[in-house]
Amino acid sequence: MTLLERIQSKACTVGIIGQGYVGLPLALVFVEAGFPVIGLDVDPAKVEALNRGDSYIKHIGSERVSRALKTGRLRASTDFDELASCDAVLICVPTPLGRHREPDLSFVLDSARAVAKRLRKGQLVVLESTTYPGTTDEDVLPVLAATGLKTPDDFLLAFSPEREDPGNPKFHTKIIPKVVGGVNAPSTDAAVALYRLAIDTVVAVSSARVAESSKLLENIFRSVNIALVNELKMTFDRMGIDIWEVIEAAKTKPFGFTPFYPGPGLGGHCIPLDPFYLSWKAAEYGIWTRFIELAGEINTHMPHYVVDKTSKALNDAGLSIRGAKVLVLGLSYKENIDDDRESPTYEIIELLRDAGAEVAYCDPFFPTARPGRKHNLHLASVPCTAESFSQYDAVVLSTGHAQFRDAALYANVGVLVDTRNAVKLPAGSTTRLVRA
Diameter of the chain by CA atoms? 78
270 in catalytic set: yes
Say if residue 166 is preceded by a cis peptide, omega within 30 of 0.
no
Q: Is residue 89 within 8 Å of 124, Cβ to Cβ?
A: yes
Helix (H) or strand (E) holding 216: helix 208-239
Q: How far apart are CA 382 and CA 209, in angstroms?
A: 47
Q: Is residue 16 within 8 Å of 32, Cβ to Cβ?
A: no
Beta strands 14-17 and 74-77: pairing type?
A: unpaired
Q: Is residue 216 within 8 Å of 130, Cβ to Cβ?
A: yes
Catalytic-role residue among 86, 92, 270, 362:
270
Beta strands 325-329 and 358-362: pairing type?
A: parallel
110 Cβ contact list (under 8 Å, min separation 6): 93
Phi, psi at residue 2, to the nearest 5°? -75, 165
Closest CA to 3 of 108, 222, 156, 150: 156
What DSSP state is assigned to residue 380?
A: B
| Catalytically active residues, by annotation | 270
